[in-house]
Chains A and B, each alone.
Chain A
Amino acid sequence: MTDVQPLRRTLPRIPDRFAAFGALLIVLIVLAALLAPWLAPYPLDEPRPLERLQPPDAAHWFGTDQVGRDVLTRILYGGRTSLLIAGAVLGVSAVFGVALGVVAGYAGGLLRDLIMRITDVFLAFPALLLSLALAVVLQPSVNTVILAIAVTWWPWYARLSASVAASIATRPYVDAARCLGVPAPLIILRHVLPNSLTPVLVQLSLDAGGVILTSAALSYLGLGAQEPTAEWGLMVQQGQTLFTTNWWVVTFPGLAILLTAFAFNVLGEGLRNALDPRRAVK
């Protein structure tokens, strides 16, 4: 193979640059959220009724909302909530889904069938509907949003990692470990899990945008974060009636959602291309 290796250099490296661009954007967004207390021009909760619905100007770059709060400040703080939701949902889904999926994929047979049927049950519910039901039963709050979305999200990770793990389980190095008498849990931890993670990683970054959009949708429906918590979806919901008259109240948080979802997607696509085994450069 060494003979043709140099040919690979002719392939464009654009996907990796894409990934880097997405990663940079995400770092900026996360930094902005983390540093909100220092970056924000105004305190988080300081309604100034006299300055309500100001259009963007030098004092309020993104304008103010219906109770006179600085929109930029709320977007910066809102990023914390939205990113927290995305992180928590994906963290819970990935840990739970991958754990079940890897076991199912490696074990095969009855255990796999059992786990996959459970997964199918969860997949059968429309995600938004299940989230809606949960959010109605429980009190609407950020935690409810996280729980509701995670419940509908983990099965995808279980499915993905089960199919990856099933293929890893047939690799000669797994057979070799079995022939050495290594116990199954150790084989899963040492060989199957680490070698199954790449596609999960890609899926995580592709999904982050989706989770943020879903949480925004739940908040928008009034089932998520509640006032006075700053959250992008909630901001869009509360500003929607003002769109024609005071466009900035709804447009800027909407753009924040869009930009973040976009950044994660770009990173995910880039990662997918860069980590594609068919393109793996040794």
Chain B
Amino acid sequence: MTLLRADRVTLGYGRHAVVHDVSLDITGGGVGLIGESGSGKTTLARAFLGLLSPMSGNILYGDQTLKKADLRKFRKDVQPVFQAEALDPRMRIGGSIAEALPRAARSRVPDLLEQVGLDPELAARRPHQLSGGQRQRVVIARALAVGPRLLILDEPTSALDVTVQARILDLLESLTAERLLITHNLAVVERLCRTSYVLFAGRVVESGPTSELLANPAHPYTGALRDAVPRLGGPPPEAGVRTEAVPAATGCPFRLRCPLAVPDCERAPELRDLRGRQVACHRAEDVLSA
């Protein structure tokens, strides 16, 4: 039984849905949620954190829907790690972390700072007096304060310099909590997540073992994402798709960008099992064999 999962959730603001019918299990070894801006990945993260109620479908915590679950226990089990901007600019670092602790346990602040590799003296500072990397560590320390079993990480390193990013990734890798990592950075997912979900226009287009997905993508979009990332000394990256086109409202949402689109794509593809993964593409077999 996984700690947290989404069962066919549709999410949105007002009547406007941005995530459609997504099912996702947060299993061991890290789960990656890959998508570009507007893919709905942050909306999904907010739903997993109980900050947004699904329009339909359920977020299941253990065997209960989030609405019926013991929220106090849930808040202890599931914590977010947002970008470094997730600190109140007017609060001292120590205060921000102490907010996560019961009054009697406030003395643990220095320990927590040390645990994420920071000088306990920093507790007296304010966020703007810290570097981006230090702020990100504080955000992690605060999440760890309640002893969570699952961390929901939303682009935890994308605003940081590469050398700083590498050290934050080391830190995240050393933590024992389960993780759902939301990012557009494939290299980060490759390192931290055994399983991945690729999101396009609010729909899961492919999911499965990360290594398998990146080595042999079955969905053209997964392939396009992979090929767009420049590799050191590698060939020039290629967009491979028409990035202009907006997601299609009917049928396969990716078809207007897809180099492989056929008339059949006007019929929406279902997620189906294919060689150890799930993929929503009529031409997945062709993509795999290409």
Contact = CB atoms under 8 A, between A and B. Distances in A.
**In the complex they form, do A and B come into direct contact, defined as C-beta atoms under 8 angstroms apart?**
yes
Interface of A: 171-173, 175-182, 190-191, 194-195, 282
B88 interface: yes
A178 B100 CA distance: 10
Given A172-B83, A194-B90, A282-B128, A180 B51 contact: no
Contacts of A181: 71-72, 75
Nearest to B46: A175
The secondary structure that dominates the A interface is: helix
A179 B88 contact: no
Contacts of B99: 177, 180, 182, 190
Contacts of A176: 80, 82, 86, 139, 142
B51 A179 contact: yes
Given A177-B99, A180-B99, A180-B100, A172 B72 contact: no
Interface centre among A178, A180, A282 (most CB of B within 10 A): A180
A191 B49 contact: no
Interface centre among B99, B139, B142 (most CB of A within 10 A): B99
B173 interface: no
Interface in B40-80: 46, 49-51, 71-72, 75, 78-80
A130 to B, nearest CB: 35
Nearest to A182: B99
Contacts, number: 52
B102 to A, nearest CB: 11
B89 A175 contact: no
Given A172-B82, A176-B82, A180-B100, 11 more contacts: A172-B86, A173-B96, A175-B49, A175-B86, A176-B142, A179-B49, A179-B50, A179-B75, A179-B78, A191-B88, A191-B91
B63 to A, nearest CB: 21
Contact of A195 (B72, B80, B90, B100): B90
Given A179-B49, A179-B51, A179-B75, A173 B87 contact: yes
Interface of B: 46, 49-51, 71-72, 75, 78-80, 82-83, 85-91, 96, 99-100, 128, 139, 142, 146
A262 to B, nearest CB: 32
Contact of A180 (B75, B88, B91): B75
A195 B89 contact: yes
A190 B88 CA distance: 9
Contacts of A171: 85
Contacts of A178: 51
B51 to A, nearest CB: 6
Nearest to B45: A175
6 A-B pairs with least C-beta separation: A172-B86, A181-B75, A172-B82, A173-B88, A282-B128, A176-B86
30 contacts: A171-B85, A172-B82, A172-B83, A172-B85, A172-B86, A173-B87, A173-B88, A173-B89, A175-B46, A175-B80, A176-B86, A176-B139, A176-B142, A177-B99, A178-B51, A179-B50, A179-B51, A179-B75, A180-B79, A180-B100, A180-B142, A180-B146, A181-B75, A190-B91, A191-B88, A191-B91, A194-B88, A194-B90, A195-B88, A195-B90
Contacts of B85: 171-173
Nearest to B100: A180
A178 B50 CA distance: 9
B109 to A, nearest CB: 14
